[in-house]
Amino acid sequence: MARPTEFDRDEAIASAIKVFARQGFEAASTSDLLEAMGIARQSLYGAFGDKRSLFLEALRRYAAGSLAQMREALAEGTAAEGIEAALLVGLGSSDDVESGCLGVGSVVEFSRSDPEINALNDAAGETVAAAFSARVRDGVEAGELDAGLDTDAVGRMLLVLRSGLKVAARGGAGEAELRDTARLALRGLTSTRSGSECRSPP
């Protein structure tokens, strides 16, 4: 039996993520995936098992990459600046449908019907909310954000806002509109004692 052609697994997964982000799980055919990944059918089954297993690995990889990108943005500047940067990083756009959020897309497509996808998305959401919550707590301790905030509740709210911003970006919302929306939410978190304010773009 001939050995499957060797390939770069990371590059193949990155290509699969784009296909799934563009088409969703059901609409992405095996042929679409093979063409984008540049591999043979035998290599797909040998390396990943089947399309669903490939999707699960792509979703895990996407979630890890998105979280790393968001953590880096959260560390920027003040707490408010970091939160704003994290809300806006990697949103994708209507001009590049392959940049869409695989996590949000899978929630829309599967709802709560698939336990494994639920578990992946739930874990990713909890981690993102906790990261936001920790940065909010930093801002409260620094006197920059309102001391009366429930930091865990705010973390969950910011997770929902980021998901909504991704959908809006996919729907055609521009950068300025998305930034204004993020800043409007952040104004509600700002401590009146600190005198700090999330400024609107000039």
> Quick one: pLDDT band at residue 1, thresholds 50, 70, 90?
very low
Q: What pLDDT is attached to residue 97? A: 75
**Positive or negative, the Cα torsion across 52, 58, 60, 63?**
negative
Question: What is this structure's pTM?
Answer: 0.88
Count Cβ neighbours within 10 Å for each residue of 132-159 and write b for 16 or more, e otherwise. Answer: bbebbbbbbeeebbbeebebeebbbbbb
Q: Are 62 and 103 in contact (CB under 8 A)?
A: yes
Question: What distance lies between CA 8 and its chain's CA centroid?
Answer: 24
* pLDDT tens-digit series, residues 144-162: 999 999 999 999 999 999 9
C-beta atoms surrounding 31 within 10 Å: 9
Specify the higher pLDDT residue, 4 or 39: 39
pLDDT at 199 over 60: no
pLDDT at 197 over 50: no
Q: Please choose, from the candidates 90, 83, 70, 69, the residue with its C-alpha nearest in 3D space to the C-alpha of residue 151.
A: 83
Q: Are 117 and 195 in contact (CB under 8 A)?
A: no
CATH T-level topology, domain 9-187? Tetracycline Repressor; domain 2 (1.10.357)
* Helix 41-48 and helix 51-74, axial crossing angle in degrees, nearest 10: 70
> Quick one: pLDDT band at residue 59, thresholds 50, 70, 90?
very high
Q: Are 12 and 37 in contact (CB under 8 A)?
A: yes
DSSP 108: H
Task: Please provide residue 156's backbone torsions phi and psi, each rounded to the nearest 5 degrees.
Answer: -65, -40
